[in-house]
Amino acid sequence: MSAVPSVCLVHLVWAPLGPEPVARFVRAHRAVDPGLDHRLLVVLNGFGAAPVPAETLAPLRELEHEQLRLTERVQDLTAYRLAAEHAAWADRLCFLNSHAEPLVDDWLALLDARLSEPRVGIVGATGSHESQFSAAARPLRPIRYFQYPPFPNPHVRTNGFMIGRDDMLALAWRVGRRKRSAYHLESGNRGIVRQLAARGLEARVVDRDGRGLPPAEWPGSRTFRSGAQERLLIADNRTREYERADQARREWFASVTWGDAAFARS
């Protein structure tokens, strides 16, 4: 009997988006080879007690997978935590949100290789330096001051990332029903990257060449909102938004995400 793969790939299906994101993920998963043995766990979120529409489930028949249906509608990061608790057999988990689309062969293997390096606690396809404090309107800043670090605020975007299961379950993972609470966990003072840093673990963005880039190199990485994003490993709705934008809009996106570094390293 073959060994159970130690990597769990978690894909989130968010009911309000309908069937097209599911079909896009399945097409991508079949078109590009992940390069690493894994088990696929599909998390069905937001469907309530109603049956999941047949057109949503139909593309998944092409992939060997397990389904985890959540009884309550929750934020993505809460769904990820529930998936990690469910996948007790896994050593590492890779999470892809509903918009995620792997772009190149070996994408999962590249993430796994960089996560396996000493002192690396989390890897992602994209990162950002954006600060919810620095970007806030002045009246909101006294509140945001206690919630978010000022710019630059390096964090891995949770559209596509990989982490060890034990490391993830050791983190304080509090997410309420509002989207703002998910931002706190992604990029706040007690966010994922900062909690890992307190334990001596670092964050890396992995590009399609397999390089594990530290936060100082993210602005020039040509992954998220950088250059033409030609080294991007996994696309999502935000990377597609940048891709469709004209030059002026791209520069605005880059300035919000990277500040002056967007232009110094482009």
Give the Cα separation of 31 and 102 in Å (integer).
9
Across the chain, which has 266 residues, the per-10-residue mean pLDDT values are 77 97 97 98 94 96 96 95 98 98 98 98 97 76 82 96 98 86 92 97 98 98 97 98 97 93 55
Q: Which two tokens stand for residue 151?
A: 């710019």
Q: Which strands sit side by side in the sheet containing 202-206, from one edge to the other? A: 66-69, 39-45, 7-14, 92-96, 160-164, 120-124, 202-206, 212-213
Whole-number pLDDT of residue 130:
94
| Domains of the chain, start order | 7-215 (3.90.550.10)
Looking at residue 32, what DSSP letter applies? S
Whole-number pLDDT of residue 3:
63
Q: Which residues contact residue 200 at a Cβ distance below 8 angstroms, ignoring those fewer than 6 apart?
A: 119
- The answer to whether 120 touches 197, Cβ cutoff 8 Å, is no
Whole-number pLDDT of residue 2:
46
- Identify the three-state secondary structure at position 9: strand
Whole-number pLDDT of residue 264:
52
Exposure string for 193-226, b = 16+ CB within 10 A, e = fewer: bbbbeeeebbbbbbbbeeebbebebbbbbbbbbb
At 124, give phi and psi (nearest 5°).
Answer: -145, 165
Whole-number pLDDT of residue 1:
36
Whole-number pLDDT of residue 12:
98
